[in-house]
């Protein structure tokens, strides 16, 4: 009987090209080149379409770290560059991606609307290896739709 490797094992093998997985050197190189965002509570980015404003209200661990992370984001509408009302009843998706290795993560984040209007809990955001990660968050409610990319260097 033939056994197939699980998708996670294939992702690791494809990422490493048959060599050992990256270690702290890659994460340090990411930090040294200043590629990522500097984590702060309330880290704010406007959406790429300019329709929504995103704030990273909390991260556990903080700053974002290796393996499972939990984030709470605040999403607000924008009009002519001015932040407006909270985006409620939104459909939110999270897509972690490691561009240097051309892979994402096998674990999907669950989205939970929080009691505060416009806030959503994203968990787990699985950043399973050290290095540079881009986490795309997309939010849509009615005609309002936009996305943002948070960029972090994840330590070993």
pLDDT digits (tens, 9 = 90+) for 96-106: 999 999 999 99
Residue 109 near residue 122, CB atoms below 8 Å: yes
Give residue 123's Cα distance to chain centre: 10
Domain boundaries, the chain: 10-154
Architecture of the domain whose range is 10-154: Sandwich (2.60)
Give residue 60's Cα distance to chain centre: 13
pLDDT of residue 137: 98
pTM of the model: 0.84
pLDDT digits (tens, 9 = 90+) for 38-88: 999 999 999 999 999 999 999 999 999 999 999 999 999 999 999 999 999
CA 63-13-100 angle, to 5 degrees, is: 45
Show the 3-state SS of the chain.
CCCCCCHHHHHHHHHHCCCCCCCHHHHHHHHHCCCCCCCCCCEEEECCCCCEEEEEEEEECCCCCCEEEEEEEEEEEEECCEEEEECCCCEEEEEEEECCCCECCCCCCEEEECCCCCEEEEEEEEECCCEEEEEEEEEEECCEEEEEEEEEEECC
Instruction: State how far the Cα of 124 lies from the Cα of 37, in Å rounded to an integer.
Output: 20
pLDDT of residue 2: 41
């Amino acid at each position: 009987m033939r056994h197939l490797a699980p998708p996670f094992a294939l992702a690791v093998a494809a990422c490493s090209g048959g060599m050992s997985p990256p270690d702290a050197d890659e994460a340090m190189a990411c930090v040294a080149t200043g590629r990522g965002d500097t984590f702060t509570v309330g880290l704010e980015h406007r959406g790429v379409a300019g329709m929504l404003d995103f704030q990273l209200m909390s991260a556990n661990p903080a700053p974002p770290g290796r393996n499972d992370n939990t984030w709470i984001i605040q999403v607000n509408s924008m009009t002519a560059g001015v932040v407006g009302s909270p985006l409620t009843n939104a459909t939110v998706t999270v897509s972690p991606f490691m561009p240097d290795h051309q892979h994402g993560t096998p674990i999907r984040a669950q989205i939970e609307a929080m009691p505060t209007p416009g806030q959503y809990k994203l968990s787990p955001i699985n950043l399973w290896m050290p290095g540079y990660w881009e986490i795309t968050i997309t939010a849509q409610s009615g005609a309002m739709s936009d996305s943002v990319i948070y960029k972090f260097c994840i330590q070993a």
